[in-house]
Amino acid sequence: MQKPTVPSPESIPLTRHSGHKLIQLANGQWSLHCTEVSETYHPVIGPESEAEQLYAGQIHIERMNSLSEFVVWDIGLGGAANALSVINAASNYTGKLQLYSFEHNLEPLILALENSDKLPYIQPFIQIIHKLLSHRLLEFQYGSAHIKWQIIYGDFPEWLNRYTSHSTEESFAVPPPAAIFYDAFSPKKNPDMYTLDIFKKLRVALDDNIPCLLASYSRATLLRTTLLLAGFYVGRGAATGEKEETTVASNSLALLKNPLPISWLERVRRSTSAEPLYSPIYLQEPLSQKHWEKLLLAPQFQANISLFDKENKERKY
Ligand SMILES: C[S@@+](CC[C@H](N)C(=O)[O-])C[C@H]1O[C@@H](n2cnc3c(N)ncnc32)[C@H](O)[C@@H]1O
């Protein structure tokens, strides 16, 4: 089989499109803002704390003690707050962190570097990020941990298609993850990244011998039904600022502290936006009868399904 190769730095443009700026949050901290989609990165409590609470803090990084390598897929590298939060967390463990950062626009990272005076989280890593931008792949020691950090440049859905078809070098070059940061703007602004097809492929990409925890800041019913229908277990994720909860998903129920209970299906029943996206077009629709029936078969609800009201089960639309 052909040996995997890393794309040459010259083949990757640094800027795909413009449209980012720094903005100051209500708490005084600075964060990146994408004017193209009108969304602010880590908008509630700022990049450093939000990355720690929602991403590095939820993936059970203590598993580094038992896994020979701890693989993280950082989907939506952006200004690297999530990536750096996991590097910081890993530095307390003796082990190997393999961090794959997926991104189709390196402008936010460059902007973050240029404004490091406003973004303290990036300051200890300025040299490392400069090297990463030139080589796209970097290995270094940080605290007790050995870090391998690689940028996978390009459109994530396209990459995932190639990855899951096992037909290309990607399948060999990138190992299945123990954690996924899913941080790619909202379903409304970036529907390409929230189709049922994407999450089914993401589920297929996991190795069920490696429990994997996916963290997303969204708590949308649409995202949760999509994850369940794609074959994930789904739970309530950590709160952040005034946001009461976020979403976590896994191929192992044991990794979820707060799996969605069967009573959550009542919310699905009432929701006007629960049907998964079939194509990269944002639509808000109640869950279809076909998907309602599939949802009831989700393994995480099966143990308790007899407790669920028969009337709900046979609901007609
Ligand atoms: C909210 S920002 C991520 C913030 C980042 N995790 C951080 O810690 O700073 C979303 C990122 O996802 C990237 N993105 C969106 N759609 C993508 C796609 N189809 N393929 C690859 N990257 C994508 C955007 O370019 C953007 O940088």
pLDDT of residue 243: 79
Backbone angles phi, psi at 178, to 5 degrees: -100, -10
pLDDT tens by residue, 162-196: 999 976 666 668 999 999 999 999 999 999 999 99
Q: Is the domain covering 9-185 a CATH 3.40.50.150 domain?
A: yes
| Ligand 1 pocket, CB under 6 A | 41, 51, 76, 78-82, 102-105, 108, 155-157, 183-185, 190, 192-193
Q: What's the rounded Cα separation, in Å, for the pair 110 and 235?
A: 34
Average pLDDT of 53-79? 96
Contact 85, 51 (CB under 8 A): yes
Contact 74, 98 (CB under 8 A): no
Distance of CA 15 to the CA centre of its chain: 22
| Of the candidates 92, 86, 111, 97, the residue with the CA atom closest to the CA atom of residue 17 | 111
| Of the candidates 141, 87, 131, the residue with the CA atom closest to the CA atom of residue 109 | 131
Q: What is the DSSP string of the chain?
A: -PPP-PPPGGGS-S-S---EEEEE-TTS-EEEEETTTTEESSTTT-HHHHIIIIIGGGS-GGGGGTSSSEEEEEE--TTSHHHHHHHHHHTTSSEEEEEEEEES--HHHHHHHHTTTT-GGGGGGHHHHHHHHHHSEEEEEETTEEEEEEEEES-HHHHHHHHHTT-STHHHHSPPPSEEEE-SS-TTT-GGGGBHHHHHHHHHHS-TTS--EEEES---HHHHHHHHHTT-EEEEE--BTTB--EEEEES-GGG-SSBPPTTHHHHHHH-SS-SPBSSSS----PPPHHHHHHHHT-HHHHTTGGGS-HHHHT---
Sketch the domain layout of the chain as residue ranges.
9-185
pLDDT of 315 above 70: no
Q: What is the mean pLDDT of the chain?
A: 90
Range among 8-12, 86-90, 296-300 rated most confident: 86-90
pLDDT tens by residue, 268-297: 999 999 999 999 999 999 999 999 999 999
Q: Whose CA is nearest to atom 26 of ligand 1?
A: 78
Average pLDDT of 241-254? 91
Q: Whose CA is nearest to atom 24 of ligand 1?
A: 76
Distance 29 CA to ligand 1 centre (A): 20
pLDDT tens by residue, 94-148: 999 999 999 999 999 999 999 999 999 999 999 999 999 999 999 999 999 999 9
Distance 184 CA to ligand 1 centre (A): 4
pLDDT of residue 166: 79
Share of the chain above pLDDT 70, in %: 88
* CA distance readout (Å), 55 to 44, 72, 160, 237, 243: 14, 11, 21, 10, 15
Global confidence as pTM? 0.92
Distance 73 CA to ligand 1 centre (A): 12
| Of the candidates 232, 223, 227, 309, the residue with the CA atom closest to the CA atom of residue 265 | 309
Q: What's the rounded Cα separation, in Å, for the pair 105 and 185?
A: 13
Distance 113 CA to ligand 1 centre (A): 16
Burial class (CB in 10 A: 0-12, 13-18, 19+), 157: middle
pLDDT of residue 4: 37
